[in-house]
Amino acid sequence: MGGPYASTVAQLGGRPTVKLDVPLCSVFLAAFLGFGICHMVLFRRNLARGHKFIPSAVTFGFCMSRVVANAMRIAWACHPENVRIAIAAQIFVAAGVLLLFILNLLYAQRMLRAAFPAFGWARPVSYAFKALYVLVVITIIMLITVIIQLSYTLNANTHRIDRDIQLYGVTYFAIVSFLPLPIVSLVLLFAEEKHVASFGSGSWRIKAIIVFVAGTLLCLGASFRAGTAWMAPRPASSPPPYMHKTCFYVFDFGIDLAVVILFLFARVDKRFHVPNGSSKVRHYRGEVGFQKHVPLEQVQKDEAGRDIEKISSHQWLSAAG
């Protein structure tokens, strides 16, 4: 197999240059590094207090992927003829943002479960969300494979198949980025706030605003990338205006950075925190019955106010023994 071959098709952002792209990528690299460290500091401090919020660590991981992506674009600008560096840069640019899609969808899912527990915690719904996440992973593996394969073959039919896979991938990611918007909208329209299961801190509407703003930004970026991908390919020597570097930095790194900052200053680590093991017990009330210093006689009610369990001292001691 020959190659790697430089792409002859115009791509979003084009080939980076030392004069323009190196300064811009340096700024984004420093910004993602700084805010990534902030998210990791929050994660470590929360963990030390027994407040485990894994999405903070995931956001840190996303920021590090963006640091690598910008570093690779700087290297590509300094070595424009090195196709392998170009491939690596394209892979990191394409792959990183998916972590933000998953996080925002996770926050929307938590709101859905709190508003409509019977529906949100239902097995089919839970499996549907898991299927979405698994398909995201499978799709990004497909796209990475396609990016590499396109650089190592000149076969026209292979290029056609690879383009079809790319179109599927960017379209699916645009759909995933959009899903939190209708979920949160339905929750706000049909859920009564006084009957919503409490989780995290802060008001219900602020949680919705955070997810909605992040979803709007992420969907804007994903939709732009999908829209440009569906346009007829143009030669790299004559790129269309929507492939300009400004569009690349605004709709890729700019939007990503805005969402990272939003998650940090909105303190999603507090607002969207749920008790450990919630997915096992299928509610957000925390662990039940087998905790120290809890009353041995207690009546627990579900979100609709119905008595669901009564544990006596004798029953508790029997279970503990």
- pLDDT tens track for 229-241: 999 888 888 889 9
Q: Are residues 175 and 305 in the same domain?
A: no
Q: Are residues 110 and 162 in the same domain?
A: yes
Q: How confident is the model at residue 223 (pLDDT cuts 50, 70, 90)?
A: very high
Q: How confident is the model at residue 1 (pLDDT cuts 50, 70, 90)?
A: low
What is residue 280's predicted lDDT score, i.e. its pLDDT? 65
Q: Are residues 99 and 222 in the same domain?
A: yes
Q: Which residues pair with 298 in a beta bridge?
A: 311
Q: Is residue 254 part of a domain?
A: yes
Q: By residue range, what is the domain housing residue 308?
A: 288-321
Q: Is residue 168 part of a domain?
A: yes
> Which one of 200-204, 238-242, 278-282, 316-320 scores highest in mean pLDDT?
238-242
Q: Is residue 6 part of a domain?
A: no
Q: Is the pLDDT of residue 309 over 70?
A: no
What is residue 55's predicted lDDT score, i.e. its pLDDT? 93
Residue 205, domain CATH: 1.20.1070
Measure the CA dihedral 5/10/13/15, to 10°: 40
Q: Is residue 11 part of a domain?
A: no
What is residue 167's predicted lDDT score, i.e. its pLDDT? 95
Instruction: Convert the pLDDT of each residue in 38-59 to its tens digit.
Output: 999 999 999 999 888 899 999 9
Q: Are residues 52 and 96 in the same domain?
A: yes
Q: How far apart are CA 196 and CA 116, in angstroms?
A: 8
SS3 112: helix
Q: Are residues 186 and 270 in the same domain?
A: yes
Q: How far apart are CA 278 and CA 255, in angstroms?
A: 31
Q: Is residue 113 part of a domain?
A: yes
Q: Tell me whether strands 298-301 and 307-311 are parallel, antiparallel or unpaired.
A: antiparallel
What is residue 25's predicted lDDT score, i.e. its pLDDT? 96
Q: How confident is the model at residue 13 (pLDDT cuts 50, 70, 90)?
A: confident
Helix axes 98-115, 204-230, angle to 10 degrees: 140
- Residue 299 has φ and ψ, to the nearest 5°, of -115, 125
Write the CA distances from 125 to 103, 118, 186, 200, 283, integer angstroms.
17, 10, 15, 22, 14
Closest to 123 measured CA to CA, from 318, 260, 255, 282 = 282
Cβ count near 117 (within 10 Å): 19
DSSP state of 301: E
What is residue 61's predicted lDDT score, i.e. its pLDDT? 95
Q: Are residues 31 and 99 in the same domain?
A: yes
What is residue 106's predicted lDDT score, i.e. its pLDDT? 94
Q: Are residues 90 and 200 in the same domain?
A: yes
Give the chain's mean pLDDT. Answer: 84
Q: How confident is the model at residue 154 (pLDDT cuts 50, 70, 90)?
A: confident
What is residue 79's predicted lDDT score, i.e. its pLDDT? 92
Q: Is residue 5 part of a domain?
A: no
Q: Is the pLDDT of residue 301 over 80?
A: no
- Residue 179 has φ and ψ, to the nearest 5°, of -55, -40
Q: How confident is the model at residue 281 (pLDDT cuts 50, 70, 90)?
A: low
Q: Is residue 1 part of a domain?
A: no
Number of domains making up the chain: 2
Q: Are residues 300 and 217 in the same domain?
A: no
- The answer to whether the Cα torsion of 120, 124, 126, 128 is positive or negative is negative
What is residue 308's predicted lDDT score, i.e. its pLDDT? 38
Q: Is the pLDDT of residue 141 over 50?
A: yes
Q: How confident is the model at residue 279 (pLDDT cuts 50, 70, 90)?
A: low
Can you tell me the mean pLDDT for 249-259?
A: 95
What is residue 303's predicted lDDT score, i.e. its pLDDT? 39
Ranges of beta strands (E only) in the chain are 298-301, 307-311
Q: Are residues 213 and 321 in the same domain?
A: no
Closest to 39 measured CA to CA, from 214, 259, 219, 278 = 259
Q: ω before 239 within 30° of 0 (cis)?
A: no
Can you tell me the mean pLDDT for 211-230?
A: 95
Q: Is residue 9 part of a domain?
A: no
Instruction: Convert the pLDDT of each residue in 105-136 to its tens digit.
Output: 999 999 998 888 888 889 999 999 999 999 99
Q: Are residues 194 and 318 in the same domain?
A: no
Q: Are residues 151 and 218 in the same domain?
A: yes
Instruction: Convert the pLDDT of each residue in 169-213 to its tens digit.
Output: 999 999 999 999 999 999 888 877 667 777 778 888 899 999 999
Q: Are residues 51 and 183 in the same domain?
A: yes
Q: How far apart are CA 141 and CA 124, in angstroms?
A: 26
